[in-house]
Amino acid sequence: LHRPTGSPGPRRDLRSAPFLAAARGERPSRLPVWFMRQAGRSLPEYRALRAGTEMLQACLDPGLTCEITMQPVRRHGVDAAILFSDIVVPLYVAGIGVDIVPGTGPMVGHPVRTAADVERLPQLDLEQVTPVTDAIALLLAELGETPLIGFAGAPFTLASYLIEGGPSRNHERTKALMRSAPEVWHALLARLSDITSTFLQAQVAAGVDAVQLFDSWAGALSERDYREFVLPHSAAVLGRLADAGVPRIHFGVGTGELLGAMAEAGADVVGVDWRIPLDVAARRAGGTRPVQGNLDPAVLFADFGSVESEVRRIVAEGRRTPGHVFNLGHGVLPETDPDVLTRVVELVHDQPV
C-alpha cells in the first residue's frame, strides 16, 4: 500500500466527479458539497484517533493523516476529501519554530519582525514534505473516485502568524510592518510564497486533484492594501500552479470587498464566506468563475428547518453563478453535531442541478 513518492498512482477515473465538473464550470450530475474542516473535532472518531498525539505529529504520520482524512468521506458522503494537515506544516518541517496549541492555534517561538529575522528563514526542501506526499499516496489508493483537495496557507495569513507570534484579532504588528518597513514585508512575503508554492507543487506532483489557498485573514485588509501588499505574492503562488492541471480555489473570510482582487490573483474557483450572497460574490469575482460556499457554520446549531431554508436559499443563489460547489462560509465549528452535517449533504444532493 505504501508506494514510494514519485511512482505512478492508482488509476482513478475522475472525469465525472461532481466536484471537479463544478470547479471547471461544467454542469455536474449533482450539486457537490464538502466542508472546510470536515476532518476534525466535530467527529468523535477523530477525537478517539487523535488522543495522545500532538496535532503536528498527526499531520506528519501518513497512516494517521490518511485515516483522519477518510473519516468525513465515509461518514458524510461528501464529494471531496481535504488532506488533513495545517497551514503551518510547511513552516514546521522547514525548521521554523512553530507549534499548534490546542484551543488557541499556531504559536511561533521567535516572531519574525526584522530584515535579519526574514534573512534567517529557511527554505522548504522537497524531501521535508515526504510525510505529506506519502499520506497523499495512501489516500489515492483509498479514495476511489472521490477527489482529494490539497491546500496551503497564503503568504499573508502565514505572515500574520509569524509576525504576531500567534493568532491575532487586529493584525496590528502585521499592518505596522507592511507600512513601516515595506522592503522587509515584501521580502517576507516572497519567502512565504516560495514555501507555499513548493508545498502545493509537491502535493500536485503526489496526485491531489485540486488545491485550495487559504488566505483566511485577508479580509482584515482594505482592497487598496490587499492589492499593494498581498496580491502580487498570492498571484506568484497561484501563477506557479497555472499549468498544474488542477483547479485552484482561493478562499478568505470577510473578503466581500476583495473578491475581484482575489479572483485576479489567479483563482479558478473563489471561496465565499456567509456575509454576501453567492450570486453577488460571483459577479464581484468577474462573473465567469465558479464559487464555493457559503453556509454560515453557526447556522448548523439552529433547528433543522432553519438549516434547510438556508441551504435552499444558497442553492438558489448558486444557480445564478457560473458554477457552485456547496460548502460552509468557514470551517466546521468543533461543537457541531456531525449528524447535522450528514443531513446537509443529503439535502444538497437532493437539490435539482
What is the contact surface with ligand CP3 in residues (CB under 6 A)? 36-41, 50, 55, 82, 84, 86-87, 100, 102-106, 151, 157, 214, 216, 331
User: Cβ of residue 162: shortest distance to ligand CP3, in angstroms?
Assistant: 12
Given the residues 3, 30, 41, 275, select the one marked as catalytic: 41
Least spacing, CB of residue 174 vs ligand CP3, in Å: 14
Q: Is 173 annotated as a binding residue?
A: no
Choose, from 46, 92, 161, 226, the residue flagged as catalytic.
161
Based on CB atoms, which residue is closest to ligand CP3, 161 or 229? 161
Is there a catalytic annotation at residue 41? yes
161 annotated ligand binder: yes
DSSP 227: I
CB burial of residue 15 (10 Å; 0-12, 13-18, 19+): exposed
> In whole angstroms, how close is the CB of 156 to ligand CP3 at the nearest point?
11
Contacts with 92 (C-beta within 8 Å, 6 or more apart), sequence order: 56, 98, 99
3, 12, 30, 37: the active-site residue: 37
Sign of the C-alpha dihedral computed for residues 140, 142, 148 and 153 taken in this order:
negative
Q: Look up 86 and say whether it is catalytic.
A: yes
Q: Which of residues 92 and 185 has its CB atom nearest to ligand CP3 in the complex?
A: 92
Active site residue 320: no
Contact assessment for residue 330 and residue 36, using Cβ atoms and an 8 Å cutoff: yes
Retrieve residue 41's grid coordinates.
473535532
- Distance between CA atoms of 227 and 262, rounded to whole angstroms? 9
Q: Which is nearer to ligand CP3, 35 or 229 (CB)?
A: 35
Residue with Cβ nearer ligand CP3 (45 or 279): 45
DSSP state of 334: T
Q: Centre a 10 Å sphere on the Cβ of residue 353 and count the other Cβ atoms it contains.
A: 16
Strands 98-101 and 105-108: antiparallel
Give the Cα separation of 213 and 221 in Å (integer).
Answer: 17
Cβ at position 286, least distance to ligand CP3 in Å:
23
> Does the annotation count 226 as an active-site position?
no
Q: List active site positions.
A: 37, 41, 50, 86, 161
- Residues annotated in the binding site, as ranges? 37-41, 86, 161, 216, 330
